[in-house]
Amino acid sequence: MTSTSAATHRARLRTSIAPFLSFFSGPFERLNEEPDVANFAVGNPQEMPMTEYVDAMQRALVPQDKDWFAYKISEPASRRLVAGTLSRRTGLAWDPADVAMTNGGFAALAVAMNTVIEPGDEVIFLSPPWFFYELLILKAGGEPVRVHLDPPGFEPDVDRIADSIGPRTRAILVNSPHNPSGRIYTPEKLRALASMLADRAERIGHPIWIISDEPYNRIVFDGREFHSPAEFHPHTLITYSYGKQLLDPGQRIGYVTMPPTLSERSELRDELFVQQLAAGYAFPNALMQHALPDLEEMSIDIGALQRRRDRLVPALREMGYEASMPEGTFYTMARAPIDDDVAFAEILARHRVLVLPGTIVEVPGWFRISLTASDEMVDAGIPRFAAAMAEARA
């Protein structure tokens, strides 16, 4: 790479996250620590951690042998535990050898992309996306290709995805339950996607991977079931983070894995390991792996999230906001009463409410609300949303 092309590449990396940096150095930085602010901006905990979580971490901290805090990679016990969970959840007989433990979902995505993407490959991602998809694709040497999901349903259109596939398409990023909309993709939708990808792969002469970003696959509402694309498409890499089910995003543990239906698994295992090393030792630390047997079965209170959704969304709609009813995740999307969602987020900030402007997740005119806000924040926030609506309309 020449110095000019390297500078251009770095500039593209910065541009991809410029809206994110602008918000988090603006209203969020000013108000995040203020005690009277109703903070709906990001999926951070707004209450004390679960007692059982703290107890598990304290137990894991006590060394049981001299190697307790020695170098760790993907520890056999961790891999067996994850493989057992995946087998129960998908109905496929998962092999522990196909599980690579990572220091969070972010690292899992980076490792997955660097494993299957070659320089110049095109990678499709569905927009609105998680903040850093474009950044990670670019860093892996890929070329991002957007396929837009239409609000308010944010339902993926398989025909639209098919139209975006070309001879250089190597992968598609699928995120279900979807951040920021809360949409869960049905088995019928995933089967249709898998069938289309198999057909297009045959035409262009190489597999098209699904990188299935699933950190919210246990955060589902109304008794719904989650299904992974890996159940329908062998060329799938699943990435997962425990930071959502435990609401502990500062404690980094996750994994990247492939289904037992993939024929070239043994070659991919070695490549995943190489990419974990190349990413700067992207393995979870010893403490998190020691605690994993306890953490695996824990979850934040999904019922509490659903109750907040059921209180907040109807209240917003009654005020005149158009708001989505999420099927899972921490989030709901609402349309701002003015076209400039960043300006409206500033109006809300003046009313002591923090939300994420839709521009940051490529949905101008909308904003995202996190249900990890406390019940007290919901109580305080509802009249403030109404006051901000009135100010914007005036």
Q: DSSP assignment of 32-63, as one string?
A: TT-TT-EE-SSS---SPPPHHHHHHHHHHHS-
- 237 touches 211 (CB < 8 A): yes
52-103 residue pLDDT tens: 999 999 999 999 999 999 999 999 999 999 999 999 999 999 999 999 999 9
148-159 residue pLDDT tens: 999 999 999 999
- Report how far residue 15's alpha carbon sits from residue 188's, in angstroms, rounded to the nearest whole number: 36
Among 262, 156, 254, residue whose Cα is nearest residue 209: 262
Q: What is the pLDDT of residue 124?
A: 98
pTM of the model: 0.96
Among 312, 310, 156, 300, residue whose Cα is nearest residue 222: 310
304-327 residue pLDDT tens: 999 999 999 999 999 999 999 999
Q: Which two tokens stand for residue 139?
A: 């860093």
- Region 272-299 average pLDDT: 97
13-52 residue pLDDT tens: 999 999 888 888 887 888 888 889 999 999 999 999 999 9
